Amino acid sequence: MTLLQVEGLGIDFGGVRAVNDVSFSLKPGEIVSVIGPNGAGKTTLFNMISGVYLPKRGRVLIEGEDVTGMGPHLLARRGLSRTFQNLQIFQSMSVLENAVAGHHLHEKGSVLADLFCLPGSRARSRQSETSARLLLERVGLAKAAEQEASSLSYGALKRLEIARALALKPRVLLLDEPAAGCNAVETEEIDHLIAEVAAEGVSILLVEHDMKMVMRISNHIVVLDHGEKIAEGEPAVVSRDPRVIEAYLGAQAKEDADAVG
Ligand SMILES: Nc1ncnc2c1ncn2[C@@H]1O[C@H](COP(=O)(O)OP(=O)(O)OP(=O)(O)O)[C@@H](O)[C@H]1O
């Protein structure tokens, strides 16, 4: 069974084909990574799948339903949730409040109802808090619930971000560089968390520059270069693919040349 299907997706910025004709699919519980050199189109692809950008070409389907062009709110209702490259945490709020906010973001109207203490809002708040505490437990942050978010280590903040995305109970979770800025221990904790979430049947689509992590946890890898899919397959196969090696070496050679000036 296919949970998420991406068909011939493409978008242009000015005259630049940022992403062109990219197709792949995810089964329940599968971890798929999108890799490629800087500027390959990974974030743009994520933005089209998660409803931030409207694709110019192609379709996105969730369990066979065409969801192309739906905004993040509607996609959330269909079970698609994401994290962003830059943390979206409210630093001066507590860890628990951040996790609760994850629930509210997906409950249209509940924030206003809570502000005016409308009937049911107190019960709903209690329910949100209970669910948020369970989520914090799941990402290893239960003991830090009352702390201010700003006091957390970077790795813990990344896990809090994942907890917020999980508040929606997604079937498809898009993670944009979940280990960026993390040290080896923090990266390993995030590895475990992602594997646990996938083991519960959630499909995970990942953009990540940490190749060791990608090779360790992915079931399948999609490789982009200049907006096009140049390879896909199991990690061991993709890492030996001459087109993939060339794309990375070419990008490295360009960076070296730019550095020399
Ligand atoms: N909003 C935008 N307007 C114009 N061009 C854009 C925009 N977003 C991305 N691009 C261009 O589209 C191409 C793909 O960029 P994108 O950020 O998706 O790549 P990436 O693979 O995520 O890169 P990185 O690994 O550096 O994050 C690049 O040429 C980039 O300059």
Q: What is the mean pLDDT of the chain?
A: 89
Task: Supply the residue whose CA is at minimum distance from atom 3 of ligand 1.
Answer: 13
Q: Are 141 and 156 in contact (CB under 8 A)?
A: yes
> End-to-end distance of the chain based on CA atoms, in angstroms?
50
Q: 40 in ligand 1 pocket by Cβ < 6 Å?
A: yes
Report the C-alpha gap between 167 and 106 in whole angstroms: 8
Q: Which of 17, 43, 47, 225 to probe ligand 1 with, by most ligand atoms within 8 A of CB?
A: 43
What superfamily does domain 4-260 belong to in CATH?
P-loop containing nucleotide triphosphate hydrolases (3.40.50.300)
Residue 125 confidence (pLDDT): 72
pLDDT in tens, 26-68: 999 999 999 999 999 999 999 999 999 999 999 999 999 999 9
Q: H-helix or E-strand containing 258?
A: helix 242-260
Q: How far is the CA of 71 from the centre of ligand 1 (A)?
A: 20
Q: 195 in ligand 1 pocket by Cβ < 6 Å?
A: no
Q: 98 in ligand 1 pocket by Cβ < 6 Å?
A: no
Asked whether residue 112 carries a pLDDT value surpassing 60, the answer given is no
Report the C-alpha gap between 61 and 34 in whole angstroms: 18
Higher-confidence position of 47 and 117? 47
**Domains of the chain, residue spans:** 4-260
Report the C-alpha gap between 101 and 196 in whole angstroms: 23
Report the C-alpha gap between 34 and 137 in whole angstroms: 29
Task: Supply the residue whose CA is at minimum distance from atom 8 of ligand 1.
Answer: 44
Kindly state the percentage of the chain with pLDDT values over 90: 70
Q: How confident is residue 231, by pLDDT bands cut at 50, 70 and 90? A: very high
Give the pair of three-digit tokens for residue 6. Answer: 């991406």
Residue 230 confidence (pLDDT): 96
Higher-confidence position of 117 and 226? 226
Q: 49 in ligand 1 pocket by Cβ < 6 Å?
A: no
Average pLDDT over residues 224-232: 96
- State the burial class of residue 95 (Cβ atoms within 10 Å of its Cβ: 0-12, 13-18, 19+): buried
Residue 108 confidence (pLDDT): 52
Average pLDDT over residues 143-152: 94
Residue 260 confidence (pLDDT): 64
Q: 10 in ligand 1 pocket by Cβ < 6 Å?
A: no
- Cα 56 to its chain centre, rounded Å, is 22
* Ligand 1 atom at minimum distance from 227 CA: 14
* Ligand 1 atom at minimum distance from 45 CA: 18
Rg (CA), the chain: 19
Residue 206 confidence (pLDDT): 96
Report the C-alpha gap between 14 and 9 in whole angstroms: 17
Q: 16 in ligand 1 pocket by Cβ < 6 Å?
A: yes
Q: 41 in ligand 1 pocket by Cβ < 6 Å?
A: yes
Asked whether residue 19 carries a pLDDT value surpassing 60, the answer given is yes
- Which candidate, 130, 134, 164, 138, places its Cα nearest to that of 149? 164
Please enumerate in sequence order all residues whose Cβ is within 8 A of that of 184, keeping only pairs 6 or more positions apart, or say none: none
Average pLDDT over residues 109-125: 61
Furthest C-alpha separation in the chain: 66
Average pLDDT over residues 127-138: 90
Higher-confidence position of 168 and 225? 225
Instruction: Indicate the pTM of the whole model.
Output: 0.88
Q: Are 42 and 228 in contact (CB under 8 A)?
A: no
- State the burial class of residue 233 (Cβ atoms within 10 Å of its Cβ: 0-12, 13-18, 19+): middle
